[in-house]
Structure 1
């Protein structure tokens, strides 16, 4: 019988050293098809990507999100934050997500996947929900990126609440938004790589 492995609590995580996040020098904002093609060429060099999306928050009970407004894909070296205003850029991102030859690893991807189907009209292929992997290893509750980084790297992953609830539909994203979004995907890429090696 498999025993349940404990998930670190907030207090334990708070004591850990900080996770080494990507700086702006390793993050590319993509908002047109030329940049999207360059990003795709770099991503196609890797078989697995960290994956996440962000949507403008909804504040009312029956308000429906028209997100995702950005899609983040990352390798172990770099992250790309794709804005979806430009139709040609959006189409290229849809093609990346629908390509089953590449693993897209992330946390809590159920809502992201539904929104992608609705907005980009493709079913993301090769999606790996990292919470499921941890559950198979005996962790009872959803790990999330913070718990996974704590367990695998003995480090604390910092997420800004202010950035999380900011306007992701804004045509001009702030540096704080870029760092937040890129590192969600980058941390997922790092976790996926560590799980494959362990």
Structure 2
């Protein structure tokens, strides 16, 4: 009997890092004038990146009070809207942007984001495409942002667990929080652009819709869950 160990397989080379958005290309929307300017830029786009952040809960049974931050991104700028305990001066503009059928709002794992926007702010987003579902093809599991960036760009997207679990309800966000949140929105738009450029097709519907892809027609009229999302 040959007990020789099988030869070790060479490790796959590490992917180069994904270069995210620059801090100077992020706008924190704090005033009514800034909200109007952001709305004009976002509504002029054909598609925008979309995500939210919520202060994490650590106690069993504790309900989230999020979202506390809403991120929307064009190809060159990300806009961050803080929606903590105090009323935001941008609520009317946020509602106008998110409830418009155009631009298309693209993101990863948007089910909880949409639910929380409805529950907290009374906003019902329209024209939504969850890339986690749209990009999975015939796979059972949803496709996460890290996997999508590796697939479409051959790059490694760093997602810091430490930053993701920070206090997003804080009035003053750190630079690391700002960049993390802005990247979450803009990377979705960049992946969407590359997907479309390589033959991807989307047929957005007017309200909370995932575009139909082969084998997933039952998702029409819903936002797909990201419970099985691959990170």
TM-score, normalised relative to structure 2: 0.77
State the secondary structure of the residue aligned to 2:168.
coil
State the secondary structure of the residue aligned to 2:142.
coil
1:6 matched to which residue of 2?
none
Gaps of at least 5 residues in structure 2 are 1-10, 199-231
1:22-80 deviation digits (Å, cap 9, x = unpaired): 11011111122221111111112211001000000011111111110010001111111
CA distance in 1, matches of 2:172, 2:110: 25
Residues 43 and 97, structure 2, Cα contact 8 Å, conserved in 1? no
1:29 equivalent to 2:28? Answer yes
2:187 matched to which residue of 1?
187
Give structure 1 regions of 4+ aligned residues with deviation exceeding 6 angstroms: none
CA distance in 2, matches of 1:194, 1:140: 22
The count of residues paired between Structure 1 and Structure 2 equals 186
The structure carrying a bigger helix percent of its residues is: 1
CA distance in 2, matches of 1:101, 1:49: 9
Q: Which has the higher contact order (CA 8 A, sep 6+)?
A: 1
Q: Superposed, which structure 2 residues align to 1:31-46 within 5 Å?
A: 31-46=30-45
1:196 matched to which residue of 2?
196
TM-score, normalised relative to structure 1: 0.89
Q: Superposed, which structure 2 residues align to 1:1-198 within 5 Å?
A: 15-84=14-83, 85-135=86-136, 137-198=137-198
Structure 1 residues 117 and 82, CA gap change in structure 2 (3 angstroms): same
Residues 73 and 79, structure 2, Cα contact 8 Å, conserved in 1? yes
Larger Rg: 2
CA distance in 2, matches of 1:42, 1:171: 25
Residues 31 and 86, structure 1, Cα contact 8 Å, conserved in 2? no
